[in-house]
Structure 1
Amino acid sequence: MTPDSVRPKNSRSPGRRPGGPDTRGEILKAARESFAGRGFTATSIRAVAREAGVDAALVHHYFDSKDELFIESMALPIDPRQVAAAILDGPRDELGRRIVTVFLGVWESPDGQQRMKAILRSVVTSDEVARLMREGITKMIIDPVAKMIDAPDAKLRVTLVASHLIGMALCRYLVELEPLASASPAALITQMAPALQTYLTN
């Protein structure tokens, strides 16, 4: 990405203003409003550009895709597409271990944990945030992992894994239920990986 002061070439069209000092922030604000009002699926780059009062080419100047715009506007601590790539990179019979390892890796970093706590609290208290996360995470993580499993009930299996992970995160990081809260990540990986693998391949 380039600084906000750099304007994209040939992006100006009649009725649309060029990039300014806070153009990127205004695009993100419009994106958050659009995602909240329409949901992930119905939101488009053109709709966000229209609400921000800029040309769609300027949105593409700052954000490569709608996925990236979603990630930035929701202030996610990780890129779900990278999470999916890390999960899928390896043998099928170690899928459960990779999933819980990647998940804990996000939560155990100080910045990641703070932001994930905020997201989890928002998800359980706001229908709009829950809908956004459901649509976005389904497209970027659940669907790709389900394709790897290649079973008639693959999506159910993956969402069972998601329910297990979210329940663990809620009890460990928000409720701080002991001894789960003080267990080491290595111990959790050892205990949880076989259970997740059972959901996925048994």
Structure 2
Amino acid sequence: MTARANPAPPLRGRRRGANATRQAILDAARARFAADGFTATTIRRVAADAGVDASLVMQYFQSKNELFAAVMSVPVSALGHFSAAFEGTDEGLGARVVRAFLDVFETDARSSAPLMAMLRGAIVNEQANEQLREFLQERLLVGARATRAVDEEAVLRVGIVSSMLVGLVMGRNIVGVPALTAAERETLVTLVGPAVQNVLAPPGRSQPREAS
């Protein structure tokens, strides 16, 4: 059975400074994400473990995604790649999503190192596997929800695309499939983009907008 993170005792004596509080939240979140995975971890649980109010956690980190990014040393700026891919019409959506994925894993040095470490860990560590899978799928869902209505089928489609793209990055950067490692990035976007497009926005399927 996986060990659970234990809540910190109530704060006593002199109050911690901002840096110490932020670090306490990060330490608690790291333990909680490792124990429970991304989905089951909540801001309230992290706050309880760190011995602070949930509102204070939200002052330092605007969302669970940003907290996870900070724990895994993924810069918040990298999260915008996924959301930006869904801006605009469905035309070219597949290519934009593939390009964003490769940008985050291969081009942005600050985000690629921790993400690749997560990917390598996912091969042998179920918790890392779960965290990576849930985090990437959630990022795509956040991007989709920002501009589109997301129903149960859309969630499934995002999950399929997440699996496809993780497989592409793993084959290219971990396994080292010769054809993938030798291919130019834009060549992969051109070849894989239509497949992702067909899953996310197949011909004839409407994509209603969220009500404003």
Give the equivalent residue in structure 2 for 1:23. Answer: 21
Q: How far, CA to CA, are the matches of 1:138 and 1:178 in structure 2?
A: 27
Corresponding residue number in structure 2 for 1:200: 200
- 8 Å CA contact 1:19, 1:58 repeated in 2: no
Per-residue CA deviation, residues 81-100 of structure 1 (Å, 9 max, x unaligned), is 52332121111121101101
Q: Deviations over 1:65-107 (max 9, x none)?
A: 3332122112225557523321211111211011011111112
State TM-score, norm by structure 2.
Answer: 0.75
1:182 deviates by 2.1
Please point out which of 87, 90, 94 is paired with 1:89. 87
What SS does the aligned partner of 1:24 have? helix
Aligned partners of 2:189 and 2:196: how far apart in 1?
10
Question: Is the CA contact 1:17–1:55 (under 8 Å) kept in the aligned structure 2?
Answer: no
Name the structure 1 match of 2:178. 178
Q: Say which is worse superposed, 24-33 or 75-84, in terms of deviation.
A: 75-84
The alpha-carbon distance between structure 1 residues 64 and 151, as it changes in their structure 2 partners (threshold 3 A), is: closer
Cα offset for 1:200?
A: 2.2
Q: Structure 2: how far apart are the matches of 1:78 and 1:68?
A: 6
Q: Which runs of 5 or more residues in structure 1 are unaligned?
A: 1-12
Cα distance in structure 1, aligned partners of 2:15 and 2:188: 51
- Work out which of the residue numbers 104, 107, 125 in structure 1 matches 2:102: 104
Q: Cα 1:41–1:140, aligned 2, differ >3 Å: closer, same or farther?
A: same
TM-score (norm 1): 0.78
Conservation of the 8 A alpha-carbon contact between 1:171 and 1:177? yes
**One-letter code aligned to 2:25:** I
Unpaired stretches in structure 2, ≥5 consecutive residues:
1-9, 203-212
Which has the higher mean CA deviation after the structures are superposed, 145-154 or 190-199? Answer: 145-154
Structure 1 pair 108–134 and aligned structure 2 pair: CA distance change class (3 A): closer
Q: Post-superposition shift, 1:32? A: 0.9
Residue 28 of structure 1: how far off its partner (Å): 0.3
The residue number in structure 1 matching 2:209 is none
**Aligned residue for 2:3?**
none
Residue type matched to 1:33 in 2? A
Equivalences, count: 190
Q: CA offsets, 1:47-66, max 9 Å, x none?
A: 22332233444433322233
Q: C-alpha distance in 1, partners of 2:160/2:54?
A: 38
Which residue of structure 2 lines up, in the alignment, with residue 121 of structure 1?
120
Correspondent of 1:74 among 72, 94, 101: 72
1:76 alignment partner, SS class? coil
Could you tell me whether the CA contact under 8 Å between 2:85 and 2:143 is conserved in 1?
no
What is the deviation of 1:36?
Answer: 2.0
CA contact (8 A) 1:30 1:51 kept: yes
